[in-house]
Amino acid sequence: MTAPQDRQTTQRPDQRVKLVPCGIDIGGNTLPLLAGAVHYWRIDPNDWRSCLLAVKKLGLHFVDTYIPWGVHEVSPGKLELGETDPQLDVAQFCRLAQEAGLWVIVRPGPHINAELTYFGLPKRIVWDAACQARSPGQTPVMLPMLPLAFPVPSYASDAYHDEVARYFQLLGPVLAPLLYPNGPIVLMQVDNEAAFYFRDGPYDQDYHPDALRAYRDFLRSKYGTIDALSLAYGITDNEKDEPSSDLTRFTSIDPPRRFDAETPTDLVRHVDWCAFQEHLLTTALGRFVRALDDAGLSGVPTVHNLPPGQEATPLHPGRVAEVVDLVGQDFYHAAGQTGRRVVARATADLAMRSEARGVPAFACEMGAGFPPFFPPLAEQDSAFTVLASLAYGLRGFNVYMAVERDRWIGSPIDRRGRERPQAAFWRKLCAAVLRTSFSTLRRRVPVRIVIPRLEQRVARAMHAFSPLSSAILSTFGIGARESAIEADLGLDDPLAVEAAEFVHAFERALEARGVPFAVVDADEYAFADDARWLLCVTSGALERPVFERLAQAREAGAHVTLGPREPRFDEAFQVLSAPYDLQRLGADGRLGPVVRDSASAQSAVGQAVDLLGLPTHACDPSDVLVTVHEDSSGIVRVIFVINASERHVVARVRGAFDGSPVIDAVDETEFDGESGVLEVAMRPRSVRMLELAR
């Protein structure tokens, strides 16, 4: 096993700009990734300079902008890039940003959303049948988005990828001269929230002919022979229990069109379909990256942003990280208990994954305001979300939107470049992040609740409310407990529901004791040497590679607990011919190796604190939570106090306060910690970032 700080990123050697754990290295100068979004095509060019200077005044180092294909295209194969319309002169906007002392993040799509009609795509593309994603009935997949519903493109369509490649070729001559070191562009986003345009139910799409061909190739690569697939799917001649003679070719295999599993074996084709959708999106992003390279737009790192609720989508962060350099996350949440729980899950996983890859944990979009056809988010919501995200390990963010524009409410800067009252918060926050060197700090997380990809695929397959996006439900704190099909497939308890209950029980128990933890994928970073306790979720099936990683982590000193079921099946839901040797995971009866009842979570956590010497950052009252951030020497520099409740409280934080000043890093309130107990007045639904001056 490898400690996370020793791992390296997979950035390409030709890159002249490097991502590093605390930000981005530009010619030997490292900056934390603090950015603000400005949409040049929505602002009078006469106001570009004042808007950019206002972004710089907030304390941000980068300006982030989309490049909308549909706005720039005047006819197929021709873009307007400022030749006749100065408002579309993206090159001039980038040059002005450079003059203002800002580096530039460009986001050329092809999908950008940005609350644009057709999400920034040309009208001709979305209405081209060859480019459209397809439903099981081969109808176009419609997105009921304001102001106008439209059919979404297929990430598998060769016709669509050909069009995208031509668009990038047209952008290349304009943007390539602006790439660092010749210009200010230092980061390039590839597509946007690539989760099937929020039509991410497992049986919503994509049944496009090109997707079906790719699906069969995927199965062929996985199984090798049609006989192997027939056995895995239980398609046999009943009398002989051999592969069915009726199934002779991969080309005759069709994907499932609805959830119809009745036994564990029936799940395999549904899980394969979910796995293929992950493969499809990763492959599409890789094709976009190659198209950018072919257009001369290479040499700077690439980034992709996961949408809120990404764990319920077919986006696989580990796979996406194989084709882009930086995998970030978008945050739009209301202040309160639900928002805190969702932010905690998303950020802790993002932070651990980013640390393992040697890149910053970055919020590609940190909501500052909201579109008018979404639930409103007040300034308090934005402040709560960004501070809670930093509390759980975020190291950089893009204020979205920094500058106001049409179809957006609540930005800190208006479209003339004048500050609004909420600008003061962002300016103070950026100053606090820089003053405390926050991007260099680390939150230690010795406990990981590991959710294997198999469990996530089962939860997606059993989503009960398709076509309502499970990702959108997850953003509002609604998970498998509330939205999964309650089918037990003959296993006594509903699979996805039981697993979700187990995770939730341990989250509550760990938070009650103040134990730092993260809910993570079963990728390699989850099993690093600094793990003290790994709680692996299994509702009866477990991939062998995951079991081997757990066993290796146990050998390296971590304690391992499975639950709520002992593994009976492999990843193909075949009964294990040789059961996993659970003795390899340890045999301490107090913590496992299997905790069967989620109700036992509180007792297990209490025993783990004593047995493993886990750190606890408790607070009074107990529903006020604390996170701790240390420098490279292990000295605590910043702590966060989170009151997600609806009441005013005075939080009593116990810790190693030695009489040194304790200051709210944002509003500069001073606190007395000489007695070893810090008393902090907390407003309802608020977070304080406290700086410990030592």
Q: pLDDT-derived band of residue 9, with 50, 70 and 90 as boundaries?
A: very low
Q: pLDDT-derived band of residue 8, with 50, 70 and 90 as boundaries?
A: very low
Residue 241's pLDDT is: 55
What number is the average pLDDT over the span 563-585? Answer: 89
pLDDT in tens, 665-688: 999 999 887 777 899 999 999 999
What number is the average pLDDT over the span 429-447? Answer: 97
What number is the average pLDDT over the span 197-215? Answer: 96
Instruction: Reply yes or no on whether the pLDDT at 424 is more than 80.
Output: yes
Residue 15's pLDDT is: 65
Nearest to 210 by CA among 198, 200, 218: 218
Q: pLDDT-derived band of residue 1, with 50, 70 and 90 as boundaries?
A: very low
In Å, how far are 252, 669, 673 from 658, measured between CA atoms?
71, 18, 7
Amino acid identity of residue 66, one-letter, is Y
What number is the average pLDDT over the span 426-452? Answer: 97
Pairing of strands 62-66, 103-107: parallel
Residue 68's pLDDT is: 98
pLDDT in tens, 34-87: 999 999 999 999 999 999 999 999 999 999 999 999 999 999 999 999 999 999
**Highest mean pLDDT: which of 178-187, 262-271, 578-587?**
178-187
Q: Which CATH class is domain 619-692?
A: mainly beta
Nearest to 554 by CA among 594, 587, 586: 586
pLDDT in tens, 328-337: 999 999 999 9
Q: pLDDT-derived band of residue 657, with 50, 70 and 90 as boundaries?
A: low
CATH level 2 (architecture), domain 32-204+275-440? Alpha-Beta Barrel (3.20)
What number is the average pLDDT over the span 602-614? Answer: 92
Instruction: Reply yes or no on whether the pLDDT at 32 is more than 90.
Output: yes
Residue 439's pLDDT is: 98
Instruction: Reply yes or no on whether the pLDDT at 4 is more than 50.
Output: no
Q: Model pTM greater than 0.85?
A: yes
DSSP string, 109-138: -S---TT-GGGGS-HHHHT-GGGB-B-TTS
Query: Domain residue spans in the chain?
Result: 32-204+275-440, 447-612, 619-692
Neighbour-count burial for 586-604, b at 16+ CB within 10 Å, e otherwise: beeeebbbbbeebebbbeb
Average pLDDT, the chain: 92
Helices and strands (H and E) in the chain: how many? 18, 29
Q: pLDDT-derived band of residue 562, with 50, 70 and 90 as boundaries?
A: very high
Q: pLDDT-derived band of residue 246, with 50, 70 and 90 as boundaries?
A: low
Q: Which CATH number is 447-612's, of 1.20.58, 1.10.3470, 3.40.50, 1.10.10?
A: 3.40.50
Are 660 and 635 a contacting pair, CB within 8 Å? Answer: no
CA dihedral 223, 225, 226, 227 (to 10 degrees): -100
Residue 11's pLDDT is: 63
Amino acid identity of residue 691, one-letter, is E
Counting residues of the chain whose pLDDT is more than 70, the rounded percentage is: 94
CB-based contacts of 68, cutoff 8 Å, min separation 6: 41, 109, 112, 114, 116, 120
pLDDT in tens, 72-109: 999 999 999 999 999 999 999 999 999 999 999 999 99
Phi-psi region of 360 (alpha: psi -120 to 50; beta: other; left: phi over 0): beta
Angle CA 341–61–30, to nearest 5: 90
Q: pLDDT-derived band of residue 491, with 50, 70 and 90 as boundaries?
A: confident
What number is the average pLDDT over the span 139-163? Answer: 95
Q: pLDDT-derived band of residue 474, with 50, 70 and 90 as boundaries?
A: confident
Are 308 and 332 a contacting pair, CB within 8 Å? Answer: yes
Chain position carrying tokens 């089962």: 458
Helix axes 267-294, 158-175, angle to 10 degrees: 30
Phi and psi of 281, rounded to 5°?
-65, -40
Mapping DSSP to helix (H, G, I), strand (E, B) and coil, where does residue 626 land? strand
Q: pLDDT-derived band of residue 237, with 50, 70 and 90 as boundaries?
A: low
Nearest to 217 by CA among 283, 133, 264, 155: 283
Amino acid identity of residue 685, one-letter, is R
Residue 659's pLDDT is: 67
How far is residue 49's CA from residue 622's CA, in Å, rounded to a whole number? Answer: 49
Are 67 and 88 a contacting pair, CB within 8 Å? Answer: no
**How many CB atoms sit inside 10 A of residue 245's CB?**
10
Which range, of 242-256, 345-359, 363-377, averages the lowest pLDDT?
Answer: 242-256
Angle CA 680–686–687, to nearest 5: 65
Instruction: Reply yes or no on whether the pLDDT at 427 is more than 50.
Output: yes
Strand partners of residue 25: 18, 30
How far is residue 506's CA from residue 521's CA, in Å, rounded to a whole number? Answer: 16
**Longest CA pairwise span in the chain (Å):** 80
Mapping DSSP to helix (H, G, I), strand (E, B) and coil, where does residue 150 land? strand
Q: What are the structure tokens assigned to 295, written together?
A: 């257009």
Instruction: Reply yes or no on whether the pLDDT at 193 is more than 70.
Output: yes
Are 593 and 585 a contacting pair, CB within 8 Å? Answer: yes
Residue 647's pLDDT is: 96
What number is the average pLDDT over the span 150-178? Answer: 98
With the C-alpha atoms ordered 53, 325, 73, 169, is the resulting torsion angle positive or negative? Answer: positive
Chain position carrying tokens 């799917």: 233
Instruction: Reply yes or no on whether the pLDDT at 7 is more than 50.
Output: no
DSSP string, 128-185: -GGGB-B-TTS-B-EE--SS--EEPBPTT-HHHHHHHHHHHHHHHHHHGGGBTTTSSE
Residue 587's pLDDT is: 60
Q: pLDDT-derived band of residue 589, with 50, 70 and 90 as boundaries?
A: low
**How many CB atoms sit inside 10 A of residue 291's CB?**
21
Residue 375: HSE in the Cβ half-sphere, 13 Å Cα cutoff = 8
How far is residue 43's CA from residue 22's CA, in Å, rounded to a whole number? Answer: 32
Mapping DSSP to helix (H, G, I), strand (E, B) and coil, where does residue 193 land? coil
Instruction: Reply yes or no on whether the pLDDT at 231 is more than 50.
Output: yes
